[in-house]
């Protein structure tokens, strides 16, 4: 399995390094813990740093833009080469299960919330799957943009429906 979702341990007195970086989608806010990506915000707005600080409020936050760029570049290379990538997340067991399943949806593929719920053995949990997808803080690498409503529309996306449609169209074209 190329991407593994692991829970972030020992949040008290631990250091999370964050910074601003760029990719072909534009500006990003990136964070890592112990060398693993733990946050990726695409096109961060004026509240993004505060949201990151709140999410990691028990951690010592250190800014390092060069490290963030290096980490993002390495993670994008790993993703492009289908190489192993480890992501540290803060979430419930159910959220981690949903996020892991999201990493197994291939580029250009779309699943409905209900289909993903059935895939993880939780038929009828489509809304809970949607909530877990909405709580995802690692854009692209946990590809929640590949989840769509049952009617096939693009639907909502933490980073904006226009970006979701752009990502889906680009993946469809590449596939």
**CATH code of the domain in which 59 resides:** 3.30.160
63, 88, 113 - which closes a domain: 88
User: Domain count of the chain?
Assistant: 2
Task: Identify whether residues 25 and 68 lie together within a single domain.
Answer: yes
Quick: pLDDT tens for 134-158. 999 999 999 999 999 998 888 888 8
84 & 145 share domain: no
Q: What percent of the chain has pLDDT over 70?
A: 97
Per residue in 88-113, pLDDT (tens digit) is 999 999 999 999 999 999 988 999 99
Q: Which residue has the higher pLDDT, 37 or 108?
A: 37
Q: State how far the Cα of 58 lies from the Cα of 128, in Å rounded to an integer.
A: 26
Residue carrying structure tokens 């409905």 = 112
pLDDT confidence of 10, banded at 50, 70, 90? low
Are 10 and 82 members of one domain?
yes
pLDDT(45) > 70: yes
Do 121 and 45 share a structural domain? Answer: no
Which pLDDT score is estimated for 98?
A: 98
pLDDT of 1 above 60? no
Alpha-carbon gap, residue 47 to 52, rounded angstroms? 9
70 and 106 in a single domain? The answer is: no
Mean confidence (pLDDT) of the chain: 92
Q: Does 110 lie in the same domain as 59?
A: no
Judge if 84 and 8 occupy the same domain. yes
The verdict on 159 and 103 lying in the same domain is yes
38 shares a domain with 25: yes
In terms of domains, do 76 and 39 share one? Answer: yes
Say what the pLDDT of residue 11 is.
67
144 classed as catalytic:
yes
Q: Which of 88, 103, 138 is the last residue of a domain?
A: 88
Range of the domain at 162: 91-174
68/136 same-domain check: no
Q: Containing H/E element for 17? A: strand 15-23
Q: In CATH, what number is assigned to the domain containing residue 104?
A: 1.10.10.10
Instruction: Give the span between the Cα atoms of 13 and 65, in whole angstroms.
Output: 21
Statement to judge: residues 107 and 159 lie in one domain: yes
Largest CA distance in the chain: 45
12 has pLDDT over 90: no
Q: pTM of the full predicted structure?
A: 0.92
Of residues 124 and 82, the one with the higher pLDDT is 124
């Amino acid at each position: 399995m190329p991407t593994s979702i692991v829970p972030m341990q020992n949040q008290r007195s631990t250091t999370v390094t964050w910074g601003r970086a760029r990719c072909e989608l534009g500006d990003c806010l990136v964070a890592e813990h112990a060398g693993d990506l733990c946050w990726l915000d695409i096109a961060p707005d004026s509240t993004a740093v505060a949201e990151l600080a709140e999410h990691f409020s028990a951690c010592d936050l250190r800014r390092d833009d060069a490290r963030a760029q290096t980490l993002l570049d390495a993670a994008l290379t790993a993703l492009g080469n289908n190489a192993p990538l480890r992501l540290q997340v803060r979430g419930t067991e159910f959220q981690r299960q949903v996020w892991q399943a999201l990493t197994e949806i291939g580029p250009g593929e779309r699943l409905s919330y209900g289909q993903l719920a059935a895939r993880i053995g939780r038929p009828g949990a489509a809304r809970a799957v949607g909530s877990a997808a909405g709580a995802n803080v690692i854009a692209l690498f946990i590809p929640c943009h590949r989840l769509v409503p049952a009617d096939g529309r693009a639907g909502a996306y933490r980073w904006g429906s226009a970006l979701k449609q752009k990502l889906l169209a680009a993946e469809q074209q590449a596939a």
